Amino acid sequence: MRIGVVPSILLHAGIAAAAVVVFPHTIEDLATESIIVPIDIVEISDTTNLRAPRPDPEPTPEPTPVAEDTPEPEAPPLPEPEDDKTPNDDVDEAGEADETVEDETPEIEPEPEPEPVEPEPEPTPTPKPTKTPDQVKEPEPKPTLNKKFLDRALTSAQEKKQERVAEREEKRAADLKKVEDANKSERSAGDRMRDTATWNDLLRSKLNGCWRDPSDMANADRLRVTYKIIFKRDGTLQRPPERVKPANISSGDQQMLIFDINAARAIQKCAPYDDIFPPELYEEWREFTFNFGIASE
């Protein structure tokens, strides 16, 4: 071992001495050499014959490589142990071992995409049955009223009402004339008895304008009430009228009840009666028993 070291040291020392002697001369030779560059003189004209440079073609993008499953690297064979390994060799082997471990790291496989779920088909609506023309009912025609017939009926009713009013006014005027004529002459007791009928006629004539005529009502013949009326000298009522007949009216007889109420209202509505009863003959018309109804007309 010692025999080989001494010659090796001598050899290295000789090489270093030769390099110190030769290397400076080589650098001086390189520095003294000069490079001669030839120059051409060219006249430049006003216009040039040079063509415009073509534009560089656009680079086409390279297709992205599809990642392929790289095969797992095979494990390198284990090196044989050597006794004369240097520390640098150990560092290199450690670096290679790290690269091998990095290469052996397993790649994470991508998760599989979920399968698309097909939507459930919507239920088709059941078409409504359409009615045939035979099934559609035609609207029944509404009964139309004859306008001319209605006009004639209304006109006739109004004319009849006006005729009745005119007759009552004529009868009332005639009765007043009779009373006036009777007052002009002296009258006996018999004359006063005959004038009582005249007072009744005057009272009936005035009351007919204050109450509703029952002749157009159903079963009008049975409608009849009698009232006792007491007057003051000025023709006003001394007290409310008092029904004499009938004494009682059934609550279920609505028609008779309405007729009785209308008669009592007519007596009060027509007051005062000074236009038909003169005050100087007050004793003759002071008290009356008056019948309401068709039979009393």
DSSP secondary structure string for all residues of 176-197: HHHHHHHHHS---HHHHHHHHH
Torsion sign over Cα 97, 103, 105, 106: negative
Dihedrals phi, psi of 12, to nearest 5 degrees: -65, -35
Tell me the C-alpha distance between 235 and 277, whole Å: 7
Asked if residue 265 has pLDDT above 60, the reply is yes
The more confidently predicted of residues 265 and 28 is: 265
Asked if residue 100 has pLDDT above 80, the reply is no
Among residues 276, 253, 130, the alpha carbon closest in space to that of 207 is found at 276
pTM of the shown model: 0.37
| Structure confidence at residue 271 (pLDDT) | 92
The more confidently predicted of residues 182 and 274 is: 274
The more confidently predicted of residues 26 and 160 is: 160
In the chain, domain spans: 152-296
Please enumerate in sequence order all residues whose Cβ is within 8 A of that of 202, keeping only pairs 6 or more positions apart, or say none. 172, 175, 176, 179, 276, 277
Tell me the C-alpha distance between 29 and 233, whole Å: 177
Place of tokens 């006792």: 228
Mean pLDDT of 57-62: 62
Contact status, residue 291 vs residue 208, Cβ threshold 8 Å: no
| Structure confidence at residue 285 (pLDDT) | 92
Confidence of residue 1 (pLDDT cuts 50, 70, 90): low
Does the 152-296 domain belong in CATH 3.10.450?
Answer: no
| Structure confidence at residue 87 (pLDDT) | 45
The amino acid at 59 = P
Dihedrals phi, psi of 230, to nearest 5 degrees: -120, 125
Tell me the C-alpha distance between 4 and 218, whole Å: 167
| Structure confidence at residue 85 (pLDDT) | 47
